[in-house]
Structure 1
């Protein structure tokens, strides 16, 4: 079994910096768009490019905008980050209880992203049934 290098993760703008902070306390390399002025002012294309440059996966609920950016990057041979999708349905955004999302991300980061050539993954909620 080969060991995977630690994953880096960028949290899109809808995710609280509290989540990034908690994951960093667990030893992960995580940045939240919402905690960095330079990232908050970027377009989706620029955030995607920043994540690619940093060799980071990007967590987002914004499938509608980021999947086409990913597909275009793949088609043109551009460097692309991995995209980790989730939804507010799977993990309701709550300042009072970010625990389930933090736990799921901690597990995902510890396990590592899917191996190449896979560039997309889904983080499902604790009560969701696994795909069959």
Structure 2
């Protein structure tokens, strides 16, 4: 079963739409005007409230936020980090991310509450 995702602002609606087309429960920050331009901690809190793992390219800000959650005993619904080294932002970026997220979501238990993972190609 697919795990629900919230795509951070820099990932856009195209990736979400393609994943929805493949049968996954995915929404994008850019599709909800209330979420656009929110600080990272509020985006993560909203993802947790919705029970969605957050998918982001913003590794440098979300790893410390995960540490803050753990230190304070708070829980989130998971964080999927995308490295620009593994996924260069070129013409193949969208297809590569869609394919990797589709594969991840088809693996049982690959992402879940309080897990932090780097997306693999």
TM (normalized to structure 1)? 0.81
Q: CA deviation at 1:97?
A: 5.5
Assess if the C-alpha contact under 8 Å between 1:44 and 1:65 holds in 2.
yes
Rg (Cα) greater in structure: 1
Report 1 or 2 for greater relative contact order, CA contacts < 8 Å, sequence distance ≥ 6.
2
Q: Does 1:102 align with 2:74?
A: no
Q: Which runs of 4+ in 1 moved over 6 A?
A: none
Q: CA deviation at 1:116?
A: 6.3
Residue number in structure 1 paired with 2:115: 119
Separation in 2 of the partners of 1:115 and 1:23?
Answer: 16
Q: Does 1:56 align with 2:68?
A: no
**Higher helix proportion (structure 1 or 2):** 2
Give the 3-state SS of the residue equivalent to 1:38 in structure 2: coil
Residue number in structure 2 paired with 1:24: 20
Separation in 1 of the partners of 2:93 and 2:70?
Answer: 36
Of residues 70, 75, 80, the one that matches 1:79 is 75
Summarize deviations over 1:39-73 as a string: whole Å, max 9, x none. Answer: 11311010000011111111111111111111111
TM (normalized to structure 2)? 0.87
Please list every run of 5 or more consecutive structure 1 residues that lacks an aligned counterpart in the other structure: 126-132
Residue number in structure 2 paired with 1:129: none
Please list every run of 5 or more consecutive structure 2 residues that lacks an aligned counterpart in the other structure: none
Q: Does 1:88 align with 2:89?
A: no
Q: CA deviation at 1:98?
A: 1.6
Separation in 2 of the partners of 1:23 and 1:67?
Answer: 25
